[in-house]
Every structure is written in structure tokens, then in C-alpha cells.
């Protein structure tokens, strides 16, 4: 049986953390795409990608073959989450 695999951006966000907990309980293999803060968990594989760059190299994602991809990341100015 093939592994169930999740790729998630914004795993440190409120929604991202809730989704991580859900998928960890379901024994998914999880890849967290992060820009500034990686997830510290023994079952999560972190991949650093800067989404602000004009050209993003997704070579690290070529062999993952995810079951699900969740995009929960967004950009805020000076961490102003209330107005984003």
C-alpha cells in the first residue's frame, strides 16, 4: 500500500496547525513547505521555499507524489494578521 502524503504550506498558521494535527493522527507522511519558521516535529519533513522570489525551484517536490496539497500560507505586512 502506498503512503498517504500531505504537502502543506503555512503549517504554522492557525488553520495549518489544525490540519497538521488531523493528518498526523491519520498517519500521513507530511512535508511542510516553509519560508521562515519550520515545524519542529519528528514526523514532519521541512522544505524551505521563499515564495517571495520571482522564480521558485520546486525540484525538491518532484519525487514526493502527494495525496493532498494544502496551501494555507499568506503574506502579511509587519505581522499584521488582523488586517490581512
Q: In what order do the strands lie in the sheet with 44-48?
A: 44-48, 29-34, 5-9, 68-71
pLDDT in tens, 26-77: 999 999 988 888 899 999 999 888 777 766 666 767 788 889 999 888 776 6
Q: How far apart are CA 58 and CA 56, in angstroms?
A: 6
Determine phi and psi for 30, rounding to 5 degrees.
-120, 130
Domains of the chain by range and CATH? 5-83 (3.50.50)
Query: Does the pLDDT of residue 6 top 60, yes or no?
Result: yes
With beta carbons less than 8 A apart as the criterion, state whether 72 and 58 touch: no
Amino acid at each position: 500500500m502506498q503512503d498517504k502524503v500531505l504537502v502543506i504550506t503555512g503549517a504554522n498558521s492557525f488553520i495549518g496547525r489544525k490540519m497538521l494535527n488531523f493528518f498526523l493522527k491519520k498517519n500521513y507522511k507530511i512535508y511542510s513547505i516553509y519560508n521562515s519558521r519550520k515545524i519542529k516535529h519528528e514526523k514532519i519533513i521541512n522544505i524551505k521555499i521563499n515564495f517571495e522570489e520571482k522564480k521558485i525551484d520546486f525540484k525538491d517536490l518532484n519525487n514526493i507524489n502527494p495525496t493532498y496539497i494544502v496551501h494555507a500560507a499568506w503574506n502579511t505586512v509587519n505581522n499584521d494578521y488582523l488586517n490581512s
